[in-house]
Amino acid sequence: RGSSDATCPVAALQTWLKLARIAHGPLFRRVTGQGKAVGAERLNDQEVARLVKRTALAAGVRGDLSEGDRAEKFSGHSLRAGLASSAEVDERYVQKQLGHTSAEMPRRYQRRRDRFRVNLTRASGL
């Protein structure tokens, strides 16, 4: 459990199951009717991509870009990339979790993470 109910994934899941009245079947489902109806079918990849785009736009992520450019940059893959880039574990665990056959892909995510973590100017003593 998380340190606070407001950020606890277990509490969020329990709330979702209760409000969506889910007793069995798919966990992640489409919400329609301006958030008032929960479908019976699972979310598909296109719906997840639309949710990611909509959420990134609403949150103002990469506000330096136009809305069209931001919509192009964010997708369902952003979830995988974000997880892999932020995980502070050995790249072989990232490779296994995400099902990559090559070690090159986790290395790309590792470089992306390190790009923001390692400040060369500070490291050189400047």
The per-residue pLDDT for range 11-24, each reduced to its tens digit, is: 999 999 999 999 99
Which carries the bigger pLDDT value, residue 12 or residue 87? 12
On the question of pLDDT at 71 being above 80, the answer is no
Cα separation values, 87 from 8, 12, 16, 72, 99, Å: 18, 22, 26, 24, 15
On the question of pLDDT at 26 being above 90, the answer is yes
pTM of structure: 0.56
pLDDT for residue 116:
55
Q: Output the CA torsion sign for 37, 41, 54, 16.
A: positive
Residue 44's identity, in one-letter code, is N
* Distance from chain centroid for Cα 73: 13
Question: E strands within the chain?
Answer: 29-32, 37-42
Q: CA 84, CA 107: separation in Å to the nearest integer?
A: 10
